[in-house]
Structure 1
Amino acid sequence: MALLVEMGWGGLVQYPDTITWTDISQYVSTARGINISRGAADELSETQPGTATLSLDNQDGRFTPGNSASPYYPFVRRNAPIRIAVAHIPTRSGAAPYPLAQLGDDFDDGRVDQALWPNSYGGVVEQGGVVRIPVSTAADAGLQSVRQWTLKGSRLTAKLVTVPKAGGSSNAAASMWVNSTTAGTRIGWRYDALTGVLAAMNQTAYFDGTPTSFTYSPIDHAWLRVRESAGTVYWETSADGFGWTVRRTLAAPAWVGSQTHAVEFPATRTGGTSDFIEWDLVGAIIKPRFWGMVNEFPIEWEGLSSRVTVTCTDLFKRLNRLPVLRSMAAEEVLASGPTAFYPLTEPSDSTSAGDLSGIGAGSLTIQQAGTGGTLAMAAAPGPPASEDQVPLFTPSSATAGKWLQADMGDSVKQWLTTGRPVFECWFQTTTGGRAIMGLASPDLQYVHVLSLSGGGQLQIEWTTTGETLSITPIPFTPGLADGNWHHVVFGQYSNFLFLDGALAMTGVPVTYGSDQRTLHIGGYRGTRLWSGSIAYVALYGVTQAAEARLAGHYKAGATGYAGESAAARIQRLARYAGVDSVTIIGDTFDPIASQAPGGTQVVARMREVESTESAKLYAERDYYGLAFQSRDLRYNPDPQSEVFTVTYADLEPGTSISDDDQKMVNSLQASRPGGATQRVTAPSSVAAFGLYEPQPLDILKTNDNSVLDAAYWVVSRYANPEPELREVAIEAYTMPNYLDILDADISSYFTVYGLPSQAPAPSMRVTVEGYTETIRERSHVIQFHTSASFKDSVWVLGDPVYSRLDSTTRLAY
């Protein structure tokens, strides 16, 4: 086992695909160990932010913030990305020839292992926890094994740490090969330092006429692998050694299945300046344990020695410090990347309205035409589901009153000119013949106005010559001056117009404008002044048709996406938080009620969904992403789905069985927004133990029956909890199924066999709710927080085990 601790110096956790990782494993104190906590204490508790604590050797000051002499300066700072993994190094077993998957070396002992690499040449050395191969003008060099390996049904893996530079050479290359018995016939990877190209090759006579080649990326191609399976050879790359991308496949050459192979990492250079290539962790199997950010780098001293003990938190740290969300109507716009966005939700004493896009558009200010009329901020209710207050325009006439105007600035003009403008807004009125919004160039050559005709029909007024505005009516949109809120998206890229989420017209005959930076809202140049309300005005500069996606914002303001599945809701909320990766696990997700109003943080809203679904939400441990598990993932645990098994004799001290009332619930009151308040009880449990009723369950179901189902599910599981194992501690490193144990995560199953005779049963199957682990040199202790798997047994008609309702099972929810 080797530790793999990497820092993403200068990277941002919210942009994981742009992080270049630096291995700092050699500075981690394995004596003090790494402590990691993940998940929940039990199945009734929320999963907590994952944490990791580790101690770093800071003798040379490399982990001192602000130290300009640090090789990581100036990026030793709070919130630096970190990831932690265990690298399992395989060992040989049995007799030669060995499968290539048993070739493993972490290069950590400072000397080339002559038993593994007896044929190395050209000055290969181990230093700093890697193997360094000269790419020299003096002589070729290479790390080379004895011929005792086979690729068939196996694999060769290595981490590519440092690539050579061109250095003025006419030829400079380094490779990773599986060699046949014929010179020049080989399979592997080749890096060309002159072109920066990485090639997946199947060479014969040192030549491959059709390699798969691509520009090398230190992020995406940090790991290389060649493997054979069922007659096919795969060339694969990985950013972390855990998740792999296939780059090339080929029917395995005959020699792959008939010969014994040697492995070689050669390097060569002709002319120029000598340097080196570095490899690490040959054959390693990577098991991620933590992905997050460092909270701080506190320096401490022990005599003259300096250490930095850092505490790290997973992505929930960032999510928990995000500001409260606005209404869904506003968040949908923000998540779509507007060029300018004026929600118009300022308080009543405001005299202007601002842009929230982040591009820097100028603010809207109140303009006066003629005399009289009012424009009152926060004076009218916004779109139905939003609960926002928005402006009320009350002109004295079409030409006397107030409207809003902004010079949005040069940056916005450039965005809208490079792309093509898309208008989006909500409007409400009972008066036709008025202008909703207008966009114009300063010289008025390019003008586009969105307005209503006298009969309340939507229309586009426009010019690209500075002449009188042409009017393009939008068919099938009459009667919009009906006092109801309406949503419109008009895009000048594809000339589509959407009304209330539906396509109203394709190919609107309007020519797009450029150099437009002046925005009018509630009228245009002091005429056709709006009577009613306008909200959530957004402009986009798009280079591809995006109008259909924007049209989906209608549901945000109209219904708050009430009725969408809980899985879709979690993905939507994650998008508001800037998290693109959400792994949905399981199949049972109920429709969920609206969460349209603003005022709460994104994590709080996610937890509402989690509670409503009896689901599990947590951060991934191998990537910047979330996982959301449905409750059905745990239904009727199948022995085949067990991650591992363990005997009581192999457990660490402290294992005990609990039988208390900590989890007991025999009465529960439940309700939903706008629905009935209902109560479920278990009379026999109440009679035997007294009343155990927790806080009422207030969940986001869309009908009363679903609320009742949710309440019954809780009471049926916890009316009379049976004895259970809640803590299981394992020294995993010494176990033959070590890698299987490392695969266990939240909601995994395993069984403990051979319990003492005093136990309620000789074996108990448990579900993982979370764990704490301590990783040291040749030690990896994992304390699993567990619950009894039988609680999740659900009724199945005719099944010999699961058909006894209220005996071994309960109705599925």
Structure 2
Amino acid sequence: MPEIRVELELDGVWTDVTADVRRTDPIEITRGRADEGSVIEPGRCPLVLDNRAGKYAPRNAAGPLYGKLGRNTPVRVAVDVPGADSYLDLPRAGSSASTPDTAALDITGDLDVRVVVTVEAGGDWADLVAKWRATTPLDLSWMLLLGPDRVLWLRWSEDGSTVLQRASTLPVSLPPTGRIALRATLDVNDGGAHTVRFWTAPGGAGPWTLLGDPVTSAGTTSIHAGAAPLTLGDNPSQTFRGLVGRVHAAEVRSGIGGTVVAAPDFSTVTPGSPSFTDAAGRTWTLAGAAAVRAGRWGRFAGEISAWPPRRDLSGQDATVPVEAAGLKRRLGQGADPLASTLRRSVGASAAVAYWPMEDARGASSAFSPLAGVQPLTATGLAFAAADGPPGSTALPRVSDGATLRGPVPQSPELAAGWQLEMVYYLPELAAPATFPDLMRVTSSGGLVTLWTVSVDADFMVVTGQSSDGAFVVNAGAAPTDASGGWNRLRLTVRQSGPDVEAVLEWFRIGANVFSGSITAAPVTGDLGTLASVDVQFEGRLGEMQLGHLSIMPAGAADAYGHADNGWEGDRASQRIERLCVEEGVRAITVGAAADQVALGPQQPATLVDLLEEAAEVDGGHLLEHRDLVALLYRPAHLMYNQTPSMVLDYTARGVAAPLEPTDDDQALRNDITVTRRDGSSARAVRTDGPLAVDRVGRYPDSPELNLYRDSQLADVAGWRLHLGTWDDARYPVVTVDLAAAPGLVPAALATDVGDRIQLTGLPLDDGPGTAALIVQGYTETIGPGPVWRIAYTCTPAGPWSVAVTDDPDLGRADTDGATLATGSTATATTLSVASTGRLWSTAPADYPLDLAVAGERITVTAMAGSASPQTATVTRSVNGVVKAQLAGADVRLWQPATLAL
């Protein structure tokens, strides 16, 4: 049985409270879905704490934990399993292992560095392996890092101070476990150039796969030898957080595939050791919270929101029964909808003044969310009159004579220059030579006292007038893409020595670059002080709308980019990560963003709703991490063609009763209409096979999804139809008794929601002897006594086996239609197969392949005949089904190729 470990985070330090946990009742951990159709609820882990000493009463001023316990105190539950491999635990910033510099580590030529890690955190730079000291004096050799976008970086220096760096052309795709081997090589003289290559592998022994393309640069290079120590984890001279997770092994080689000069392998290190010597003779010392551990598996991490004291009638026994819950519980409590992406982004930027203009219908002024910024007084503006761009809610429409006026706060940040930016919609440009104003601002104490942006059908114009009304700045250009849709406009004015410079730029929202710009000739004079917004709109602007007007220091970072279109095109993991960073929520995503379904624009909703929406579009799992108080997102593509994380033999010990397959219609959906939010629809209907609408009736589903483009609809509808009409028995619950089968413990502990498990040796009357399942959730029960069970909620894994080009099993398209031309006995070794479409290949290289014929799995070893029917040489009863076959029986591939979404 495992040793349970329960810890509370008190004053930022994880404190072991295992001894105070009552074990008279089982510890029960629930994660994932409770059944196939439900949403993923927050994880749960009830605990009962012994409070006879008043330790866990938050109001007990005399208690040792007074002031330390409160709402949402972090808690984690782990099991220690004897005999498991050791690893270097790096739980937080400042954790590392290092070995002093020595001559063997002073590599100046080709470099080969490898590390096997389990990544448990994201969103920041992570030092992996480095020989690098960035303190004064600089002593820089080389460093391998994992960026916040999971791009691998190799940095090095030729002289000890100047930094060279190269990045992988693709991001690292983390597996669900987070464990991966990473590698970088530097060829300092690759035919007169130098080349960096990045690699990944499932483990330190390989096989290594190139991560993207080699990065080759002109000229040879070298590496500064230096005297810095070699570090794993958080390099103390850097401001990066460092790797948060586990290091299993690392290796540094002098030369690509060359001499090993450092080789820490933590699987061989005694747990608790403060130092050790590796196989290459390097002595390593741990720092910070780093520790060598063995066999510790996180089973639950969450928060305790309440501490209800309980006493028995005698008053002698006191407990605190707590309900630890996953992070999703707190995030869903009383949450307000998040603002539009533009308001969130610009409002958090360097803006000195900002008016979103998302005010409600009937408003007479434009509110500013920035403290100390007065509203703009508006007349003739119809607020909330029409939809804004994707990154905004409804914005006002101007009418003839409408005005917008108000002061700009005085700020020293604008002394050297300012930029005005806004979004606007102009259906068509005004008639020639009218030049109505799009925007005007006033200044004082400088050469220009009035800046104006005007437009007509032929020109966009920026002017600057002095106090006497003279035009000292007057520049224009043809307004390409300045109307006909939602645009961004930016006017930048700055002091450059004795001159004032002005640049006007604009572009269509959704484009990558400004489509038009005007650079006015510099004029000699002082910039002055920006004073106010003061514009009157003319009717010749038609149905113009505007909003999200901001004033920032000149050259400020772009706060509008991609926020203006609501970050449309995001993949689920990208949106989840960005939202969680913005809201201060820890989140970890695995997999590759490029393999996920693209999302439509992010619109105002609660944080949880936005996160769930992203997961729903992609079809992945949004749950909580088992080791960290953090969210975990596993995208749908990681369920494709998985290797089973656990194989269970029905005939052996470990699979607990009842194991009951179910043929029901709970998940059946054979008529799917998918609608894109604010877009079109597509329908997919099953018209053939055993679950066709004309055989079992219509089971409709009509989801509305926030997809990126209408072109996705047909594929999404087809994929959902594929999932909803997979004809296989369900095993709603599979229970594993780990107390009875301790050999299953490592696999069971590694199995999480979204993983594939395999059942073998099933009774013939349950169907095929093997069943592949996807874990959708589980309940884990530990104790009291010799009790350790995990009951997995499962769905069929068959529909997640998708086509792989040139794969002998997954790369074959199914027949257009084939049947047995004649019946056969149960032991016949040839079958006559008639085809209604293309004939079967007769090439020997295309065989063997497996067919499904009336439930029997048959292996075809050869096919003969140039016309239908053809003769197949076969091996019968591969799945244990022994039966005679009738003429006309349907013939299909056992594993037909299915295109992934």
Same fold (TM over 0.5): yes
- The counterpart of 1:291, out of the listed 301, 306, 309, is 301
The CA deviation at 1:620 is 3.1
Distance 1:468 1:89 in 2: 86
Give the alignment of 1:307-706 within 5 angstroms. 307-320=319-332, 321-334=334-347, 340-356=353-369, 359-366=370-377, 374-378=379-383, 380-385=385-390, 388-394=393-399, 396=401, 402-406=403-407, 408=409, 413=411, 416=413, 422-428=419-425, 430=430, 432=435, 434=437, 436=439, 438=441, 449=451, 451-452=453-454, 457=460, 459=462, 476=477, 478=479, 482=483, 485-489=486-490, 498-500=505-507, 502-503=513-514, 519-520=532-533, 522=535, 533-540=545-552, 546-547=557-558, 550-556=560-566, 561=568, 563=569, 565=571, 567-571=573-577, 574=580, 577-579=583-585, 581-586=587-592, 589=595, 592=598, 594-595=600-601, 597-598=603-604, 600-623=605-628, 625-638=630-643, 641-643=644-646, 645=648, 648-672=652-676, 673-683=678-688, 684-686=690-692, 690-701=696-707, 706=712
Residue among 732, 736, 741 paired with 2:748: 741
SS in 2 for 1:714: helix
CA contact (8 A) 2:33 2:776 kept: yes
The 10-residue stretch of structure 1 (23-32 or 343-352) with the greater mean CA deviation from structure 2:
23-32
Cα shift at 1:419: 11
Structure 1 residues 44-83: aligned runs within 5 Å? 44-83=37-76
Per-residue CA deviations over 1:237-292 (Å, capped at 9, x if unaligned) read 699984459999796589999x99998769xxxxxxxxxx9999863343223333
1:766 aligns to what? 773
Tell me by how many angstroms 1:306 deviates.
2.5
Correspondence 1:706-785 to 2 at 5 A: 706-719=712-725, 721-732=727-738, 735-756=742-763, 759-776=766-783, 779-785=787-793
CA positional deviation for 1:779? 4.9
Superposed displacement of residue 346, structure 1: 1.4
Q: CA deviation at 1:658?
A: 1.9
TM-score where L is the length of structure 2 = 0.59
Return the alpha-carbon distance in structure 2 between the equivalents of residues 732 and 512 of structure 1.
Answer: 82
Q: What SS is found at the alignment partner of 2:720?
A: helix
Instruction: List runs of 5+ in structure 1 lacking aligned partners.
Output: 11-18, 92-100, 103-154, 164-174, 179-199, 203-209, 213-227, 267-276, 368-373
Deviation at 1:311, TM superposition (A): 1.9
Structure 1 residue identity aligned to 2:71: R
Deviation of 1:317 (Å): 2.8
Q: One-letter code of the match for 2:405?
A: L
Q: Which amino acid aligns with 2:304?
A: V
Deviation at 1:440, TM superposition (A): 6.1
1:693 Cα deviation from its structure 2 partner: 1.0
Which 10-residue stretch deviates more, 487-496 or 383-392?
Answer: 487-496
- C-alpha contact (below 8 Å) 1:462/1:469 kept by paired residues: yes
Match of 2:30 in 1: 37
**3-state SS of 1:37 partner:** strand
Q: Give the drift of 1:513.
A: 11
SS at structure 2 position matched to 1:64: coil
How many residues are treated as equivalent by the alignment? 652
Structure 2 vs 1, CA of residues 730 and 246 (structure 1 numbering), >3 Å: closer, same or farther?
Answer: closer
Counterpart CA distance in 1 for 2:288 and 2:571 is: 49
Structure 2 runs not aligned, ≥5 long: 101-128, 132-138, 142-202, 206-228, 235-240, 254-259, 276-286, 497-501, 815-891
The alpha-carbon deviation at position 731 of structure 1 amounts to 3.3
How far has the Cα of 1:445 moved from its partner?
10
CA distance in 2, matches of 1:255, 1:747: 32
Question: For residues 176-209 of structure 1, what are the alpha-carbon distances to aligned partners after superposition, in whole Å with 9 as ceiling and x for unaligned?
Answer: 999xxxxxxxxxxxxxxxxxxxxx999xxxxxxx
| Change beyond 3 A, Cα 1:791–1:678 | closer
Specify the code of the residue in structure 2 equivalent to 1:555: N
SS of residue paired to 2:318: strand
**Higher mean Cα deviation, 479-488 or 30-39?**
479-488
| Structure 1 contact 29–55 (Cα < 8 Å) conserved | yes
Structure-1 separation of matches of 2:728 and 2:435: 69
Partner AA of 2:69 in structure 1: V
Change (3 A) 1:481 1:770: closer
The 1:395/1:365 distance shift into structure 2, 3 A limit, reads same
**Aligned partner of 1:86 among 71, 79, 92:** 79
Q: 1:700 & 1:452 partners in 2: Cα distance?
A: 37
What is the TM-score of this pair, normalised by structure 1?
A: 0.65
User: 1:680: Cα distance to partner?
Assistant: 0.8
RMSD in angstroms over aligned alpha carbons?
Answer: 5.4
Taking a change above 3 Å as real, the CA distance of residues 512 and 634 of structure 1, as seen in their structure-2 partners, is farther
Q: CA deviation at 1:701?
A: 4.3
Q: Is 1:792 aligned with 2:800?
A: yes
Quote the residue 1:192 is aligned against.
none
What SS is found at the alignment partner of 1:722?
A: coil
In structure 1, give the amino acid aligned to 2:375: L
Check the 8 A contact 2:130/2:230 in 1, yes or no.
no
- The residue identity in structure 2 corresponding to 1:301 is R
CA-to-partner distance for each residue in 1:46-98, whole Å, 9 max, x for gaps? 3222233222233333432344444444342223333333344548xxxxxxx
How far apart, CA to CA, are the structure 1 residues paired with 2:10 and 2:366? 39
Pick from 17, 21, 36 the counterpart of residue 24 of structure 1. Answer: 17
1:770 Cα deviation from its structure 2 partner: 1.2
Residue 657 of structure 1 aligns to a residue in which SS? coil
Give, as a single letter, the amino acid of the residue that structure 1 aligns with 2:618.
E
Is the 2:670–2:700 Cα contact (8 Å) retained in structure 1? no
1:236 touches 1:247 (CA, 8 Å); kept in 2? no
TM-aligned CA distance change 1:719 to 1:300, over 3 Å: same
What are the equivalent positions in structure 2 for 1:54-203 lying under 5 Å apart?
A: 54-90=47-83
The CA distance in 1 between the partners of 2:627 and 2:778, in whole Å, is 16
**Residues 596-620 of structure 1: CA distance to partner in whole angstroms, max 9, x if unpaired?**
554x334334444433333333333
For 2:615, the aligned partner's letter is: E
Asked if 2 retains the 8 angstrom alpha-carbon contact of 1:177 and 1:265, the reply is no
User: CA–CA distance in 2 between the matches of 1:255 and 1:705?
Assistant: 51
